[in-house]
Amino acid sequence: MQVPIHRYRVRRRTASCGLSTVEVLIAVAVIAFGLLAVVGTLGWVSKTNAKLRYQQTAQSLIESELAQLEADPRLPMRPYTYMRNVGRPHSILPEGSQLTVYSEPYPRSTEPRLRRVRVEIRWGSPGDPLSGRLVRERLICLR
């Protein structure tokens, strides 16, 4: 009985079998560098998300104030300014946030009941990266 030759063929180990230690270290370094870049952007994303939440809250507060003034416009005939706190605990805006409403007669004398109303919200301190300001203007007719 003859035995086939290929069954007893001796395999030689070559250098291309498996990974060397240097290759593994390089792969780990590349993966660590990529993860470090991803983790670095998380702080930026979180800060941007907080600033957008503040802007959205300020926008809704301004629109609410303007809708209230349009529904019941009790504005004086002379220029008028009032301020109120809209920060915590009234909203999610930082403590010390201010809403300012400035009303003045429209510069044309053709319509004396028309008022130019500017509503502004400021939040945060000047050096704070989350600080901001939002301003909206509208013409409102007195009744």
What is the enclosing helix (H) or strand (E) of 135? strand 132-141
Which string of b and e fits 108-126 if b means at least 16 CB within 10 Å?
eeeeeeebebebbbbbbee
Domains of the chain: 19-141 (3.30.1300.30)
Rounded to whole angstroms, the Cα distance separating 100 from 39 reads 39
Is the pTM higher than 0.85? no
pLDDT in tens, the chain (143 residues): 665 555 556 566 555 667 788 989 999 999 999 998 888 888 778 888 889 999 999 999 999 999 998 888 777 778 889 899 998 888 889 888 999 999 998 887 777 788 899 999 999 888 888 899 999 999 988 87
